[in-house]
Chains A and B, each alone.
Chain A
Amino acid sequence: MTHSAARSPPADAVIDVRRICTRFGEAVVHDNVDLRVNPGEIFALVGGSGSGKSTLLREIILLQQPVSGSIRVFGHEVVGMSDEKALPLRRRWGVMFERGALFSALTVAENVGMVLAEHTDLPPHLIREVAAVKIALTGLPAGAGAKFPSELSGGMRKRASLARALALDPELLFLDEPTAGLDPLSASGIDELVRGLRDGLGLTIMMVTHDLDLMWRVADRVAVLGNGTIVGVGTMAELSRSDDPLVRQYFHGPRGRAALEQAWNRK
C-alpha cells in the first residue's frame, strides 16, 4: 500500500472502463460498470461467484463483447476493435488464465518459446534462453521447462502460464485467480512473485481473485463487484471501513476478518 501512496495520481489510466453493460439473454451481468486502473498499480477485482468479474476481464482482453459502454486500454477503445488492430495491443499485455490454458502438446519451455517465435525474430538459442529466464522468474524449478503441462502440479501450471504471459515483457498483466487451488505456501509464493514482478518489471497488474490474503498483501486498490455494478473501490484499509452491505459481507465474513487481523498483525 505504500506504493500507491508514493505515486502521484497518474494522468492516463492503463485501463478505463466506462458504463459497461453486459447481458446474457435475460440475465444482467453488468449494469453501468466504471473502473480505472492506473499505471504501475496492482489492481484487484473481487466479487462473489457469478458477479461477472471474469466476464469483465474477458471483455477487457477482447475475448468477449459488452452490450454497450466503452473500454479503453492504453488509451485505445477496444470495444468492437478488429483482430488486426488488436494485435499490437495484445502484444502489450499478458494473460494468465485460471487453469493455465497451456498448450498441452508443447513443453513448458516450448509454450513460452512459441510466443517469442511468433512475435520476434530471435535465433532459436536465444529463444530458449529467454524462455528459461521467464520460467526461472516465475519460480519454477530447473527441470520444469522440459516437462509437459500434464506432468505439472496445479501450482506449477499456474507459474508456467505466468511465464508464458510474461514472454513478451508486457506492460500490463492480467491474472485470473492467481492463487485459486494452491496450497498456502505456494499461494504466498505467488504473492511475492506478483509484487516482485511489479517492482522488478514495472508492470501494471490487474487480477481477478477471491484470495483476501493476496489482496491484503499485494493489491494497491481493490474494486468490489456486486449486483452488476462496482459497490466499492479503494485500498483494502478503506474498503474494510466501508458501510456498503455487500462490501462488509465480503470483508467481514469469518475469512475476511481473519485476513484483516493477520494484516494488522503484520503491521
Chain B
Amino acid sequence: MSPDFSVQLTGPTRPPGAEASELRCGGNWSIHTIAELELRLADVHWPESGETIVDGSGITVLDTAGAWLLQRTVRQRAARGCVVRVQGLRTEFAALLQLLATHEIALETPIAQPAPWPARLGRRAWSAVAGTHGYLAFVGESALALLGALRHPRRLRWRPILHNVQTAGVEALGITGLLSFLLGIVIAYQGADQLQRFGANIFVVDLVALAMLRELSPLLTAIIIAGRSGSAYAAQIGTMKVTEEIDALRTIGVGAQELLVLPKVVALVIVMPLLTVYTDVTGMLGGMVMANAKLGVGFDVFVDRLDEAVQPSSYWTGLVKAPVFAVIIALVGCYRGFQVGGSSESVGTQTTLSVVQSIFLVIVADALFSIVFLWLDL
C-alpha cells in the first residue's frame, strides 16, 4: 500500500540572513496514518535554528489525531527556540489546529513507580491485619444488630427472612437433594468392593449412615449454599454499594445490618439445619439404592440395620454444625459485599472471595468440630 500522505523538508530557501526552511505536508493526516507519519517526521533533519514554515496546503484529510501530530511537531520545534509558522491549511483544518492550541494537553500521565519489596510486603501484611480487624468489626456489628433485634423482636424483618428462606432453602432443595443422593450412591459403591471381600455386606449401612450424617451432608450443604447463596449475597450487597443504595439506606435511617445482613443470617440459620436433615435422608436413599443393587442388601434390611448402626449422637453431631456453617456463609458473603469498591470489577473479585473464604472457613470449622467431638468422645 502506498502511503497517501507526504512530508518533505526543503532546506533554507531564502537567501542567508532570513533563513527559513519549509516543511511541506500533504495527503491524509488522520488516525490511520499518524503511526507512519510519526516515523517519517522523526527522520526529518531539522535545521539547528532559524525559521521554519509548515506548509499544510497539501493536506486533504486532517482529524484530531493528525492535528495533534502537526501540533506536537510545531511545539517541539518551538521548544528548541525556532520560530514556526503554519500556513496554507484549509480554514476548517486551521480551526481544528487552533482548537487544539487552546487546550492544554497533559501528556505526562504519572506512572506510579512500584514500591520496593519491603514496602509492598509491609503493606500486604498490614492489609491482612486490617482485613481481619474489619472482619471482626463486622461480626461485632452484626452481633449488636442481632442483640438489638432480640431485644425488640418486632424489629426483626420477617418478610426478607422468609424471602431468603425461599430462595436459599426451598429453591435449593433440588440441587442439594440430587447431589447428596449421588454422593450416597458413590460412597456405597466405593465401600461395596471392600466390604464384599470380607463378607461384611451389611456394614455398608454403617458406612453410608455415619459418613453422611456426621460429615458429608452438612459439608455438602454448606458448600452448595456458599456457592449458591453466599455469592449472591456478596454480589447483591456489592452492587447496592456501587449504585449508592447502601448510602441511601443510611440516609433514610435504616441500618444496612438490620435490613440486609440480619435477615440473611437468620434465614440461613433456619434453612441450613433443615437442608442438612433433608440431605441426610436423600444421601441415605442413594446409599440404599446402591446397597440393594451391588450388595444385595434390601431396603428393609437397610432400615433395620440403621437402628443399630446410628447413635443419636451421630445425627446431632452433624446437625449441630449446620447453623455454625450458616453463620459463617452469611457473614462472609455480606462482609465481602460491603468491601466492594467503586467498580464493577470489584463486585466480581469480592464475590469470588466470598465463596473461597466461606468454604475455607467452613472446612476449618469442620476440623475444629472434629477435634471437639473427639474430646467429648461423641
Question: Given contacts A104-B342, A133-B64, A199-B95, is CB(A109)–CB(B100) below 8 Å?
Answer: no
B98 closest partner in A (C-beta): A200
Q: Tell me the minimal C-beta distance from B197 to chain A in angstroms.
A: 58
Interface of B is mostly: helix
Bits for A142-156, please: 1 = Cβ < 8 Å to B, else 0.
110110111100000
Interface membership of B250, Cβ < 8 A = no
**Is A130 touching B68 in the complex (CB atoms < 8 A)?**
yes
Interface membership of B374, Cβ < 8 A = no
User: How many residues belonging to A are interface residues under a CB distance threshold of 8 Å?
Assistant: 36
Q: Which of A133-191 contact B (CB under 8 A)?
A: 133-137, 139, 141-143, 145-146, 148-151, 166, 168-169
Q: Which residues of the partner chain A approach B38 to less than 8 Å between Cβ atoms? A: 126
Question: Given contacts A126-B38, A199-B95, A200-B99, is CB(A132)–CB(B342) below 8 Å?
Answer: no
Q: Which residues of the partner chain A approach B64 to less than 8 Å between Cβ atoms? A: 130, 133-134, 137, 166, 169, 201
Bits for B344-361, please: 1 = Cβ < 8 Å to A, else 0.
111000000000000000
Report Cα–Cα, A232/B96, bound state, in Å: 34
Report Cα–Cα, A56/B350, bound state, in Å: 37
Interface membership of B106, Cβ < 8 A = yes
**Is A126 touching B35 in the complex (CB atoms < 8 A)?**
yes
Question: Given contacts A137-B64, A148-B343, is CB(A132)–CB(B105) below 8 Å?
Answer: yes
Interface membership of B309, Cβ < 8 A = no
**Is A146 touching B110 in the complex (CB atoms < 8 A)?**
yes
B102 closest partner in A (C-beta): A196
Q: Which residues of the partner chain B approach A116 to less than 8 Å between Cβ atoms? A: 31
In the complex, how many residue pairs between chain A and chain B have their CB atoms under 8 Å apart? 88
Question: Given contacts A105-B345, A126-B35, A148-B343, is CB(A133)–CB(B65) below 8 Å?
Answer: yes
Report Cα–Cα, A129/B106, bound state, in Å: 9
User: How many residues belonging to B are interface residues under a CB distance threshold of 8 Å?
Assistant: 31
Q: Tell me the minimal C-beta distance from A94 to chain B in angstroms.
A: 12
Q: Tell me the minimal C-beta distance from A112 to chain B in angstroms.
A: 12
* Interface stretch (choices A12-20, A29-37, A117-125, A209-217): A117-125
Q: Which residues of the partner chain A approach B92 to less than 8 Å between Cβ atoms? A: 202
Interface membership of B228, Cβ < 8 A = no
**Is B31 touching A122 in the complex (CB atoms < 8 A)?**
yes
Q: Which of B98-124 contact A (CB under 8 A)?
A: 98-100, 103-107, 109-110
**Besides A105-B343, A126-B35, 8 other A-B contacts (C-beta < 8 A):** A120-B31, A122-B31, A126-B34, A133-B100, A133-B103, A149-B342, A149-B343, A196-B99
